[in-house]
Amino acid sequence: MPTLKILDKEFVPYLNEKEIQEKITELAHQINKDYAGKKPIFLSILNGSFLFTADLFKQITIEAEVCFIKLASYKGMTSSGNVITAIGLEANVSNRHIVILEDIIDTGKTLHHYLPQLVSNGPASVKIAVLLNKKEALQFPVQVDYSCFDIPNKFVVGYGLDYDGLGRNSKDIYQLK
Ligand code: IMP
Ligand code: MG
């Protein structure tokens, strides 16, 4: 894979399509087992999680629903001060098992702020599944239940993740050079 140039930044190959898809398949198998008979709702956090959600959901073979919300706290390469709900929750989550799908946990701020809101709607359970977990960057306590990759505290793009809106359409994930 050649390097990827987006605006002023250069990125180098980090995780390829095959590795990503293999981990997502493993995760789907695990969730199929853990949630059999529970009819979970997958709650996908836009924008970054749309590809992860699509590829995972295609491999869910148990009865399940999917829905989307949009939370944002990122501008460029740093987290902005506050978390906003740009598109809210339509599904009725009361007494339902919820699996949140996030592209990446960085500081943890987004989910740390959102979780109490979700819990106030009375779900039966809430678990968090992430594609990428930047463990060293965590500043706000968030319990990650399923993680495909633990990654170092470096900015990444591709497979749904962006730098200033760009780079989401790469099948592979790149790391800032
Ligand atoms: P947190 O609130 O700091 O955990 O950040 C979570 C959100 O920030 C993620 O859902 C991403 O949309 C974005 N984000 C965090 N790290 C990166 C990165 O390395 N590349 C692209 N987006 C990122
Ligand atoms: Mg995101």
Domains of the chain: 17-161 (3.40.50.2020)
Ligand 1 pocket mutation, candidates 78, 83, 103, 168, criterion most atoms within 8 A of CB? 103
Q: Could you identify the atom of ligand 1 that is nearest to the CA of residue 102? A: 10
Whose C-alpha lies nearest to ligand 1, atom 15? 106
Query: What pLDDT is stored for residue 23 in this prediction?
Result: 98
Rounded CA separation 134/106 (Å): 5
Q: What is the pTM of this model?
A: 0.95
Q: How close is the Cα of 36 to the center of ligand 1, in Å?
A: 30
Query: What pLDDT is stored for residue 101 in this prediction?
Result: 98
Question: pLDDT, tens digit, for every residue of 21-71?
Answer: 999 999 999 999 999 999 999 999 999 999 999 999 999 999 999 999 998
**Could you give the 3-state DSSP secondary structure of residue 23?**
helix
Inter-CA distances, 173 with 74, 130, 144, 165, Å: 18, 14, 21, 15
For the Cβ of 108 lying below 6 angstroms from any atom of ligand 1, the answer is: yes
Q: Is the pLDDT of residue 80 over 70?
A: no
What's the DSSP call for residue 145? S
Active-site position among 55, 103, 106, 172: 106
Rounded CA separation 77/9 (Å): 11
Question: pLDDT, tens digit, for every residue of 96-153?
Answer: 999 999 999 999 999 999 999 999 999 999 999 999 999 999 999 999 999 999 999 9
Cβ proximity of 130 and 147 under 8 Å: yes
What's CA 93's distance to the chain center, in Å? 19
Q: Is the pLDDT of residue 158 over 70?
A: yes
For the Cβ of 144 lying below 6 angstroms from any atom of ligand 1, the answer is: no
Pick from 122, 64, 125: nearest CA to 94:
122
Query: What pLDDT is stored for residue 96 in this prediction?
Result: 98
Catalytic annotation present for 8: no
